[in-house]
Chains A and B, each alone.
Chain A
């Protein structure tokens, strides 16, 4: 189709993709070995045990999905949350508290430093 102006009307479009988050083993599709990343699953002979190699587990440590704490994590100051509220381990700042954090940033932030 051409437009009235004579210019070809070509528009870029994102390649459609689907985001799949598995919350439970029962949601695993039967053809899971064909899903991206699915080739990491392995089973024991005669069983369906999901076994992960050490190196694969370690690779997942830096997944974008592991960068935020679990939503349902119990808050225990000094254990599951920094002793100082508002400073997240990965250095991100929630927008509303950026100002107050800037004032508070100190060497103690290293407490929750990630070691790789």
Chain B
């Protein structure tokens, strides 16, 4: 027990540093630098003004430093989004890297927000930063989670909806990593179709 007048907090920190091996003090670089964005639906403002970069990161440890200190996706108010995109790509259809692209879309029902949403979102992020899609990772732009009362959505955005082989490989990896049951169908939608949708449904360009 500390008998000196050193504040306990300081001692704890010093002890922790002494115990840390060199492997704890080296940050592991990622293949890409990523930006995490937050969107809040404030109708009084322009859409773009509601979209803000929280921070960027390019190491495994900096990713966790961020992830460990932000609100969980399931706790965000309805109408909010988190997006994680490669640095330089804005999480919007209009971006040069997105305008010919689309997304693998995972729809969640209301019950899943408490059980599955955070796990699936975390899994998507680990796929992104760990380059789990391997060569196809170059086609990936980012990931988005939309928190909505009518049902939450998660998506992996890729840059070109014509790249069928790549998109299907990404989709298969995603299903595997998310442990998606076989009975569940996952669709890939082109952003242009989403923008020009006539009804409430958007056709799937690909399906798994």
**Which residues of A pack against B, CB within 8 Å?**
17, 19-25, 27-28, 35-37, 40-41, 44, 47, 49-54, 56-58, 60-61, 63-70, 72-74, 76, 78-80, 89-90, 92-93, 95, 98, 111-112, 114-115
Name the one of A50, A60, A63, A93 contacting B29, with C-beta atoms under 8 angstroms.
Answer: A50
Residues from chain B with a CB closer than 8 A to the CB of A64 are 16-17, 20, 24-25
- Is there an interface contact between B29 and A73, defined as CB atoms closer than 8 Å? no
- Is there an interface contact between B61 and A49, defined as CB atoms closer than 8 Å? no
- Is there an interface contact between B68 and A60, defined as CB atoms closer than 8 Å? no
Residues from chain A with a CB closer than 8 A to the CB of B130 are 51-54, 56-57
Report the 5 A-B pairs with minimum CB-CB distance, sorted nearest first: A66-B64, A69-B69, A52-B130, A37-B23, A65-B61
- Is there an interface contact between A74 and B54, defined as CB atoms closer than 8 Å? yes
Give the residue among B10, B71, B76, B135 with the most A Cβ atoms within 10 A.
Answer: B71
A20–B65 CA distance with the chains assembled, in angstroms:
18
B44-63 Cβ-contact flags toward A at 8 Å (1 or 0): 00000000111101111111
In the complex, number of A-B residue pairs with CB atoms less than 8 Å apart:
153
B70 located at the interface, meaning its Cβ lies under 8 Å from any Cβ of chain A in the complex: yes
Q: A49-B137, A51-B130, A57-B126 are in contact. Are A22 and B64 (CB under 8 A)?
A: no
Chain B residues within 8 Å of chain A by Cβ, number: 50
Q: A25-B29, A57-B126, A64-B16 are in contact. Are A70 and B65 (CB under 8 A)?
A: yes
Residues from chain B with a CB closer than 8 A to the CB of A74 are 38, 52-55
B181 located at the interface, meaning its Cβ lies under 8 Å from any Cβ of chain A in the complex: no
- Is there an interface contact between A35 and B64, defined as CB atoms closer than 8 Å? no
B108 located at the interface, meaning its Cβ lies under 8 Å from any Cβ of chain A in the complex: no
- List the B residue with the shortest CB-CB distance to A62: B64
- Is there an interface contact between A93 and B9, defined as CB atoms closer than 8 Å? yes
Q: A51-B132, A60-B64 are in contact. Are A79 and B55 (CB under 8 A)?
A: no
- Is there an interface contact between B60 and A57, defined as CB atoms closer than 8 Å? yes
Q: A44-B135, A51-B131, A70-B57 are in contact. Are A22 and B25 (CB under 8 A)?
A: no
A96 to chain B, nearest CB (A): 11
Residues from chain B with a CB closer than 8 A to the CB of A25 are 29-31, 58
